[in-house]
Amino acid sequence: MPGEKVVTSKIALTYKDEIRDFLASLPPNTPAPLLVGLLATSDPAAESYANWTKKAFEEDGLRYEVRKIEEQHVEEALAQCNDDPNVHGIIVYYPIFGLTPSYSGSSHDDYLRDSVSVQKDVEGLTFTYRTSLYKNIRYLNSNPNSKCVLPCTALSCVKILEHCGVYAKSPGVHNRLQGKTCTIINRSEIVGRPLAAMLANDGATVYSCDVDSIYKFEAGGLRRCDEGTTVKSVVEISDVVVTGVPVKSYKLPTEWIKENTVVINVASFKNVDADELLKIDGVKYVPMVGKVTVKMLERNLCRLYKQYHMDRKGDGKGDPRDALVKQARDFAAIAAVGALSLLALKLAGIWRHCRK
């Protein structure tokens, strides 16, 4: 049986319905959740992603506003969005500063990523969500309404793989990718690395390829593969291959791909020759993931809105702001320890003074 192209618009429809039902459940005259996009990069891919997002949001009844700003004003614009109760989600389009170092230590883009409020981080890229993903923690606390936010592109790949039947269906199975081997050709912080962790968390063995190295991710850990491991050798044994190489000239040799493999191209360039690929028996080819990614963005926004921004009296589902309370409690505990330490130092000083 020759290969088939997977139509992602069908997968996207499932989530369109979910979002419509959520909006219908809001009290009458409630303004729809608002996502603000901060665009400070001249990268045409970011601008077209922003335009796409706007179109999809309008179609689905959500609100989206893009704010074009100079790069030196991003931090200020981000702080304003964090503080504005009428903004429910924030997306910052990267790269802005690339690898330019920041006063805070890491790159300035990393610093910005961590400056987005946890309650508005639709991309799941802040420290809190990132570390939860890498520790395979799925909720922020014991409240079932406190699900962690996952990065949209990586999540869209997971949903596509579920649709393609790669995940075991039985609800009782914990590691639903047990026995599957996946190769991801991209290890960026936004796409490849979180995707590798998500698939490994679900039980798969994942090979993560970058220009200079191949790493093997298995639940909770990773190790660098030896020199003998090549992209060819890992693709040849993979049930799933995800390509995300942002270069027009890159083409994955189709002769490396075995029968029945699911191949997903997340890059804006076609990293695989589709005609050749579809000659391989049982292959499922997903040429782009954008339609599902935008739905994941909408879904994340609705989730944040429900968890943090909805009137508690209105939903009657317990306390969705537990995460905030926890953050405040942690902060108060740190402040109390600091104050007690100062007091102890002061008392020690008075004691020494009295003994003289």
Active site residues: 152
Residues 203-232 that bind ligand NAD (CB under 6 A): 209-211
Q: Please say which residue, 192 or 203, places its beta carbon nearer to ligand NAD.
A: 192
- Which own/partner contact pairs does 7-13 have at CB distance under 8 Å and 24+ positions apart? 8/160, 8/286, 8/288, 8/289, 8/290, 8/291, 8/292, 9/291, 11/159, 11/160, 11/163, 11/291, 11/292, 12/291, 12/292, 12/294, 12/295
- The SS3 call for residue 133 is helix
Q: Which of 52, 111, 139, 250 binds ligand NAD (CB under 6 A)?
A: 250
267 binds ligand NAD (CB under 6 A): yes
Given candidates 26, 35, 190, 195, which one binds ligand NAD under the rule CB under 6 A?
Answer: 190
- Interhelix angle 44-60/290-304, nearest 10 degrees: 60
- Residue 25 φ then ψ, to 5°: -85, -10
For position 246 contacting ligand NAD by CB under 6 A, the verdict is: yes
CB of 92 to ligand NAD, least distance (A): 13
> Going by C-beta distance under 8 Å and a sequence separation of 6 or more, which residues neighbour residue 267?
186, 243, 244, 245, 246, 250
CB of residue 274 to ligand NAD, shortest distance in Å: 16
Q: Contact letters (x/-) for ligand NAD, 60-99, by CB under 6 A?
A: ----------------------------------------
290 binds ligand NAD (CB under 6 A): yes
115 binds ligand NAD (CB under 6 A): no
Q: Is residue 194 part of the contact set for ligand NAD (CB under 6 A)?
A: no
Rounded to an integer, what is the distance from CA 262 to the centroid of its chain? 21
The whole-angstrom separation of Cα 220 and Cα 222 is: 7
Binding mask of the shown chain, residues 5 to 44, with x at each position contacting ligand NAD by CB under 6 A: ----------------------------------------
**If you write DSSP's letter for every residue of 50-67 in order, what string do you get?**
HHHHHHHHHHHT-EEEEE
Task: Calculate Rg over the CA atoms of the chain.
Answer: 23
Q: With contacts defined by CB under 6 A, name the span among 2-10, 51-59, 133-141, 182-190 that binds ligand NAD.
A: 182-190
Q: Which amino acid is at 155?
A: L
Site string for ligand NAD, 137-176 (x = CB under 6 A): ----------------x-----------------------
Per CB under 6 A, residues contacting ligand NAD are 45, 153, 185-188, 190-192, 209-211, 244-247, 250, 266-268, 289-290, 293
